[in-house]
Chains A and B, each alone.
Chain A
């Protein structure tokens, strides 16, 4: 049972436009959500996160939106740049469990076209 889902395996966007990556989850106990970026032959790197007490968090060109009622989060990248081309993973955790186990989605490959 996939608790965190990224239904779009790939996405292509023109440089300068907005990239929107989506993520759905099924476990209502998750209270902290993260996005990671991964380049080929490298480990994932943390991008941005959001707590369930918020519905939006911004960091420069990156904004994460959380819709708890829909169990959905999205990552917006504006404006998209060729260097943003990578695989993006969303992840979720239940901080109250004390174990900090992270459940990852299957990833979305973003390609930003110059």
Chain B
């Protein structure tokens, strides 16, 4: 049981390049989330998904797209990277409604630098 994994762990991009961050969970969780963490800003929600095939915008969705084609995977895409997207990105998942809401599991993070 690996929990929540993120690929890659580190990445350096040039402005305008694109990339996809992969989040995978093996706990059969319904809800998945993408956050970014910046100094002094805490964790801010980018996009989230309440089930396979569904996505929704969070607090800071601009410049990002997501897809949840399979229940266990949640992809975060940057179509045209900007220096303002330099950040540490965390994926998280939670069990289905009706189960404990305190078990939000986080991945180890992806450190992205955009030059």
A14-22, A38-46, A67-75, A76-84 - interface stretch: A38-46
B11-19, B63-71, B76-84, B97-105 - interface stretch: B97-105
- In the bound complex, residues from chain A placing their C-beta under 8 Å from that of B2 are none
CA distance A89 to B45 in the complex (A): 14
- In the bound complex, residues from chain B placing their C-beta under 8 Å from that of A9 are 40
Whether B50 and A93, one on each chain, are in contact in the complex, defined by CB atoms closer than 8 angstroms, is no
Whether B103 and A44, one on each chain, are in contact in the complex, defined by CB atoms closer than 8 angstroms, is no
Whether A89 and B56, one on each chain, are in contact in the complex, defined by CB atoms closer than 8 angstroms, is no
Whether B90 and A100, one on each chain, are in contact in the complex, defined by CB atoms closer than 8 angstroms, is no
Shortest distance from the beta carbon of B103 to any chain A beta carbon, whole Å: 6
Q: Which of B42, B56, B103, B107 contacts A104 (CB 8 A)?
A: B42
Whether A89 and B42, one on each chain, are in contact in the complex, defined by CB atoms closer than 8 angstroms, is yes
Asked if A104 meets B102 with Cβ closer than 8 Å, knowing A43-B107, A44-B90, A98-B97, the reply is no
- In the bound complex, residues from chain A placing their C-beta under 8 Å from that of B97 are 98, 100
The answer to whether the Cβ of A65 comes within 8 Å of any Cβ in the partner chain is no
The answer to whether the Cβ of B43 comes within 8 Å of any Cβ in the partner chain is yes
CA distance A43 to B42 in the complex (A): 13
Shortest distance from the beta carbon of B104 to any chain A beta carbon, whole Å: 6
A-B contact pairs, 10 of them (CB 8 A): A32-B102, A42-B109, A43-B90, A43-B106, A44-B90, A46-B105, A100-B31, A100-B50, A104-B44, A106-B42
Q: Enumerate the 4 nearest inter-chain pairs by beta-carbon distance, A residue then B residue, closest first.
A: A43-B106, A106-B42, A49-B102, A104-B43
Chain A interface (Cβ < 8 Å from any Cβ of B):
4, 6, 9, 32, 34, 36, 41-46, 49, 89, 91, 93, 95, 98-107
